Amino acid sequence: MKRGGLKIAIAVILILLAAVLSIKPLQSQLNLGLDLRGGAEVVLQAIPEDGTTVTTEDMEQLKEIMRKRVDAIGVSEPVIQLEGNDRIIIELAGVEDPDQAIEALGQTAKLEFRDSAGTLLLSGSDLKNAQGVSDNKGGGLISLEFTSEGAKKFGDATLRLVGQPIIIYLDGEVLINANVKEPILDGKAQIEGTYTLEEAILQAAILRGGALPIDVEVMAKRTVGPSLGSDSLQKSLYAGIIGMILLLIFIIAYYRLPGVIAAFSLIAYTVALFLIIAAVGVVLTLPGIAGFVLSIGMAVDANIIIYERVREELNNGKSLRAAISAGFKRATWTIVDSDVTTLLAAAVLFKFGTGSIQGFAVTLSIGIVLSMLTALVLTRYLLFWSADVSAFKKHIGLYVTGGAKNA
Query: Each residue of 100-119: pLDDT tens digit?
Result: 666 666 554 467 888 988 88
Residues 218 and 255 both lie in one domain: no
Reported pTM: 0.57
Q: Does the residue 219 lie in any domain?
A: yes
- How high is the pLDDT of residue 404? 43
Residues 154 and 174 both lie in one domain: yes
HSE value, Cβ hemisphere, 13 Å, CA-based, for 359: 22
Q: Does the residue 158 lie in any domain?
A: yes
Closest CA to 271 of 4, 30, 1: 30
Contact between 354 and 336 under an 8 Å Cβ cutoff? The reply is no
Residues 236 and 329 both lie in one domain: yes
Packing angle, helices 286-315 and 356-373, rounded to 10: 30
Ramachandran bin of 192, using left for φ above 0, alpha for ψ from -120 to 50, beta for the remaining angles: beta
pLDDT in tens, 270-306: 878 887 877 777 777 778 878 888 888 888 888 888 8
Q: Is 6 exposed, middle or buried, given 0-12, 13-18 or 19+ CB atoms closer than 10 A?
A: exposed
- How high is the pLDDT of residue 355? 65
Band the pLDDT of 39: cuts 50, 70, 90. confident
Contact between 179 and 164 under an 8 Å Cβ cutoff? The reply is yes
- How high is the pLDDT of residue 321? 81
Q: Report d(CA 248, CA 254) in Å as an integer.
A: 10
Closest CA to 393 of 246, 195, 257, 241: 257
- How high is the pLDDT of residue 108? 47
End residue of a domain, out of 224, 249, 275: 224
- How high is the pLDDT of residue 405? 45
Q: Report d(CA 340, CA 335) in Å as an integer.
A: 9
Residues 305 and 353 both lie in one domain: yes
Q: Does the residue 403 lie in any domain?
A: no
Question: For residue 194, which amino acid is it?
Answer: T
Q: Does the residue 404 lie in any domain?
A: no
Residues 336 and 364 both lie in one domain: yes
Q: Does the residue 407 lie in any domain?
A: no
Closest CA to 261 of 402, 406, 391, 405: 391
Q: Report d(CA 107, CA 104) in Å as an integer.
A: 6
Q: Does the residue 214 lie in any domain?
A: yes
Residues 23 and 155 both lie in one domain: no
Residues 334 and 258 both lie in one domain: yes
pLDDT in tens, 80-90: 888 888 888 88
Q: Is 309 exposed, middle or buried, given 0-12, 13-18 or 19+ CB atoms closer than 10 A?
A: buried
Q: Does the residue 406 lie in any domain?
A: no
Using a pLDDT cut of 90, give the percent of the chain over it: 2
pLDDT in tens, 12-35: 555 555 555 555 555 556 667 766
> Is the predicted pLDDT of residue 71 greater than 70, yes or no?
no
Using a pLDDT cut of 70, give the percent of the chain over it: 73
Residues 305 and 273 both lie in one domain: yes
Q: Is 118 exposed, middle or buried, given 0-12, 13-18 or 19+ CB atoms closer than 10 A?
A: exposed
Contact between 368 and 339 under an 8 Å Cβ cutoff? The reply is yes
Cβ-based neighbours of 381, under 8 Å, separated by 6 or more: none
What CATH number is attached to the domain comprising 12? 1.20.1640.10
Q: Report d(CA 270, CA 281) in Å as an integer.
A: 17
DSSP state of 319: B
- How high is the pLDDT of residue 7? 55
Residues 238 and 102 both lie in one domain: no
End residue of a domain, out of 162, 197, 224: 224
Q: Report d(CA 290, CA 296) in Å as an integer.
A: 10
Residues 209 and 247 both lie in one domain: no
> Is the predicted pLDDT of residue 1 greater than 50, yes or no?
no
Residues 114 and 18 both lie in one domain: no
Give Rg (Cα) of the chain: 30
Band the pLDDT of 344: cuts 50, 70, 90. very high
Average pLDDT on 305-322 reads: 83
Contact between 357 and 345 under an 8 Å Cβ cutoff? The reply is no
Task: Tally Cβ neighbours within 10 Å of residue 351.
Answer: 9
pLDDT in tens, 211-264: 566 777 778 777 766 555 566 667 777 777 787 778 778 877 777 777 777 888
What CATH number is attached to the domain comprising 208? 3.30.1360.200
Q: Does the residue 405 lie in any domain?
A: no
- How high is the pLDDT of residue 333? 87
End residue of a domain, out of 203, 224, 245: 224
Residues 137 and 95 both lie in one domain: yes
Would you list the DSSP string of 331-388? HHHHHHHHHHHHHHHHHHHHHH--THHHHHHHHHHHHHHHHHHIIIIIHHHHHHHHTT
> Is the predicted pLDDT of residue 174 greater than 70, yes or no?
yes
- How high is the pLDDT of residue 104? 63
Q: How many domains would you assign to the chain?
A: 2
Range of the domain at 334: 2-33+226-398
